Amino acid sequence: MVQLNAIRDANSKLVNSQPLIAVFVGGTSGIGEFTLRALVSTHSAKGNGLCIYIVGRNAQSAKTIISDCTAKCPDGKYHFIQAKDLSLMQNIDKAAAEITQHLQQNSSSSYPPRIDILFMSQGGLYLGPRQDTQEGLDFAMSMHYYSRARFTFQLLPLLQSSTLPAHVVSVYAAGSEAKLISDDLSLRKSGNYNFVNARSHCTFMTTEFMEQLASQNPGKLSLVNMFPGLVITPGFSNPDYPMWFKVVWSIASPLAKMMAVAPEEAGQRVLFMATDRFPAKSASQSEKRSTTEATGTDGIVGGGAYACNNDGEPTPESKRAKVYKGVDREKLSKAVWEHTMKAFDAAAAGKTFAE
């Protein structure tokens, strides 16, 4: 486990490295908000310039967060991009275009058009049956995989322009791979869809998508899928949850709150995923890697794509080997990429994805 003081030191080094441009998707509440506040707090002490874009639904929440952050770090620049429904690719494209346009129109010597860090934490705990969006994607799977892949894909030119290199951090369920139904990645066939399978498929597809982008952008892009542990967020009080969950939570919540990671620590640990412990894939196979660098999902130190627990450590290789036993990684990687691009193309054309 990486100790919190070491994490704070690494985060301080990050904010002191250069002026940072960061995008927080799902940044108006929960873990996204905690991470945003951790970045601002760290920067206020030792930072070298900060520009933040907050993407989310709640304008009032964003207004409060920006007011607090401005008081904490008055030199920072804060912008809210409203997106009502992040399960829809068309809304993601609109938000990405708005960020791109704003960066291009407000560029300066300290902030040329680029994105250094992309944090994504949109979504929540969805316990019901499959619910398709108007674009043909399951709502929960879209929030946890497709929307995040789309944001990364649409903002890729700006991420490639970072000099850090850029870091993409997706906060969801790293290490939760279980069942894989390779001929039904969407879990559309009867009997295939449930909460566990949806979470498993989102995690499998996130890993393969991130590995593809890491290989396509050596030296330019680091990507991390992170499991944040138990963090109590407003989402646990969602009135739309089924009655059984409300009853269970009312009984379990006192103990859960004692065991949970505190918001400030959770934010620092997510921010840590954007430090140089998780570097981009090397552009040269002969490059010597630091012993402090994490092992990627490909089993290589400094592999460029990572799956991490909230303790700051990568998912144990023994666990990954067991999960992927018998899986043709090359075949799966190709299938996931093609499946994802088809979903994107259908949405861009205004069609309903049906695979």
Burial class (CB in 10 A: 0-12, 13-18, 19+), 203: buried
Taking the C-alpha atoms of residue 205 and residue 120, their distance in angstroms, rounded to an integer, is 16
Residue pair 63/91 in contact (Cβ under 8 Å)? The answer is no
Q: State both tokens at 1.
A: 């486990």
10-residue mean pLDDT series, the chain (355 residues): 96 95 97 98 89 97 98 96 96 98 92 96 92 98 98 98 96 96 97 97 98 97 97 88 89 92 97 97 75 92 96 92 93 98 98 97
- The residue among 176, 198, 202 whose CA lies nearest residue 187 is 198
Provide the Cα torsion 239, 242, 244, 249; round to 10°: -40
Which pLDDT belongs to residue 285? Answer: 66
Q: Are 31 and 63 in contact (CB under 8 A)?
A: no
* Res 288: pLDDT: 66
Residue 136 φ/ψ region, left for φ over 0, alpha for ψ in the -120 to 50 degree band, beta for the rest: left
CA distance 222 to 302: 9
User: Exposed/middle/buried for 58, CB within 10 Å: 0-12, 13-18, 19+?
Assistant: middle
* 3-state SS string for the chain: CCCHHHHHHHHHHHHCCCCEEEEEECCCCHHHHHHHHHHHHHHHHHCCCEEEEEEECCHHHHHHHHHHHHHHCCCCEEEEEECCCCCCHHHHHHHHHHHHHHHHHCCCCCCCCCCCEEEECCCCCCCCCCCECCCCCEHHHHHHHHHHHHHHHHCHHHHHCCCCCEEEEEECCCCCCCCCCCCCCCCCCCCCCCHHHHHHHHHHHHHHHHHHHHHHCCCCEEEEEECCCCCCCHHHHCCCCCHHHHHHHHHHHHHHHHHCCCHHHHHHHHHHCCCCCCCCCCCCCCCCCCCCCCECCCCCECCCEEEECCCCCECCHHHHHHHCCCCCHHHHHHHHHHHHHHHHHHHHCCCCCCC
Would you state the pLDDT for residue 102? 97
Which residues on adjacent β-strands are paired with residue 55? 25, 81
Q: Are the C-beta atoms of 19 and 111 separated by less than 8 Å?
A: yes
Q: What is the pTM of this model?
A: 0.96
